[in-house]
């Protein structure tokens, strides 16, 4: 089997292992295997408190997996389409825009719009709007790093927007949202991951379907066009997919950085540039990485007590230096 094939198989296995073993570990010690079989076979009325804990873990693992997979795929396709290895939902400000949109709806819920769907749609509008804006700004600036500078600018703007919403919103409601604001994959029921599933699965399947065209586009735009790729269409669809993945994820789990930056870089070393292997491998690897990161975050013990750290804090702490490392490597090259 080729190197790309092996990378795909290994990331698929990593994904399966993360989903199966993820719920077995956590800060509270329970007899996980027994609770797992009880959760799978017994009716809810016969569950003990430990079964409920197990279900919380399953929900959390599934949500983390989808969010991590979605963010990694969004990062991979943005890097290809924008021809920049540092382009990710976070560095371009797309995730901040989505967070702002979702936060706006969640903090000031109008009765007719107070749902995760409402938050996702608002996040989507903001994310796609900011993507359009960042592309327009980058085109006008004519600089190599114009794209990233435009992203930094949008990050500031939407960061200010988030602070404004925080200032104006009801403090009680904010307290309830604190963990979302910090980026957390907490979930109460597996259906929460189920609700996110179509928003992740459809764009990922779409990206795999257009993987041949993405390969050509990654090589050279003019050559791709001469080789029969409808460059505008593929760019448009790819950016839409990245926007949907980012918006749906941040609306549900808040800001979680770094997955969309590092996973595509690591996976590309194994799969090469074939998107047919790259996109699914990024999905499985991104998913398992966030499951593991969340497991680490919720099991960490800080100052002798269990931290239950929102995973967004951990990924931001690790992601910052990694971004800097890639940036320096890029400017040396």
Interface with other proteins by CB under 8 A: which range of 42-50, 161-169, 203-211, 215-223?
Answer: 215-223
- The conformational region for residue 48 under phi > 0 = left, psi -120 to 50 = alpha, else beta, is beta
Q: Interface residues for other proteins in 56-85 (CB under 8 A)?
A: 79-80, 83-85
Scanning the structure block, which residue is given the tokens 């901040």?
A: 96
- Our CB check for other proteins shows the closer of 269 and 324 to be 269
Which of 71, 106, 107, 229 forms a contact with other proteins (CB under 8 A)? 229
- Binding window for other proteins (CB under 8 A); candidates: 31-39, 65-73, 114-122, 211-219: 211-219
**For other proteins, the closer CB: 64 or 77:** 77
Decide: is 160 part of the binding site for other proteins (CB under 8 A): no
As a whole number of angstroms, the distance between CA 246 and CA 209 comes to 19
- Tell me the C-alpha to C-alpha distance, in Å, between residue 276 and each of 148, 157, 200, 294: 27, 36, 17, 28
SS3 percent helix, strand, coil of the chain, rounded to 5, is: 80, 0, 20
Residue 223 binding other proteins, by CB under 8 A:
yes
Q: How far is the CB of 111 from other proteins (least distance, A)?
A: 46
Q: Tell the burial category of 182 from Cβ atoms under 10 Å away from its Cβ (0-12, 13-18, 19+).
A: middle
Near other proteins in 271-290, by CB under 8 A: 272-274
Tell me which stretch binds other proteins (CB under 8 A): 93-101, 137-145, 185-193, 268-276.
268-276
DSSP conformation letters of 35-56: HHHHHHHS-GGG--HHHHHHHH
Angle between helices 3-21 and 259-271 (to 10 degrees): 140
Question: Which region among 117-125, 152-160, 245-253, 267-275 touches other proteins (by CB under 8 A)?
Answer: 267-275
| Contact residues for other proteins, defined by CB under 8 A | 79-80, 83-85, 212, 215-216, 218-223, 225-230, 268, 272-274
């Amino acid at each position: 089997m080729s190197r790309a094939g092996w990378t795909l198989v290994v990331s698929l296995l990593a994904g399966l292992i993360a989903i199966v073993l993820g719920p077995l570990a956590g800060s509270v010690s329970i007899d996980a295997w027994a609770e797992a079989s009880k959760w799978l076979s017994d009716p809810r009325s016969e569950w003990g408190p430990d079964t409920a804990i197990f279900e919380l873990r399953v929900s959390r693992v599934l949500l983390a997996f989808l969010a991590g997979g979605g963010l990694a795929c969004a990062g991979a396709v943005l890097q290809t389409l924008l021809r920049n290895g540092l382009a990710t939902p976070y560095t371009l400000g797309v995730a901040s825009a989505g967070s702002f949109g979702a936060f706006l709806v969640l903090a000031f819920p109008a009765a007719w719009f107070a749902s995760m769907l409402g938050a996702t749609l608002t996040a989507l509008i903001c994310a796609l709007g900011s993507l359009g804006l960042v592309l327009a700004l980058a085109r006008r600036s004519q600089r190599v790093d114009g794209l990233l500078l435009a992203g930094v600018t949008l990050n500031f703007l939407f960061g200010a927007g988030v602070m404004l919403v925080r200032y104006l919103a009801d403090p009680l409601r904010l307290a309830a949202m604190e963990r979302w604001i910090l980026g957390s994959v907490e979930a109460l029921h597996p259906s929460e991951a189920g609700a996110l599933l179509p928003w992740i699965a459809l764009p990922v399947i779409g990206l795999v379907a257009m993987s041949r065209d993405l390969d050509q586009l990654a090589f050279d735009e003019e050559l791709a066009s001469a080789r029969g790729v409808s460059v505008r269409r593929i760019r448009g669809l790819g950016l839409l997919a990245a926007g949907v993945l980012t918006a749906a994820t941040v609306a549900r789990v808040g800001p979680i950085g770094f997955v969309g930056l590092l996973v595509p870089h690591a996976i590309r070393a194994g799969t090469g540039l074939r998107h047919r292997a790259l996109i699914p491998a990024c999905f499985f690897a991104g998913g398992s990485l966030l499951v593991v990161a969340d497991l680490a975050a919720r099991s960490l013990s800080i100052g002798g007590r269990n931290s239950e750290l929102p995973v967004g804090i951990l990924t931001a702490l690790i992601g910052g230096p990694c971004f800097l490392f890639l940036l320096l490597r890029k400017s040396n090259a």
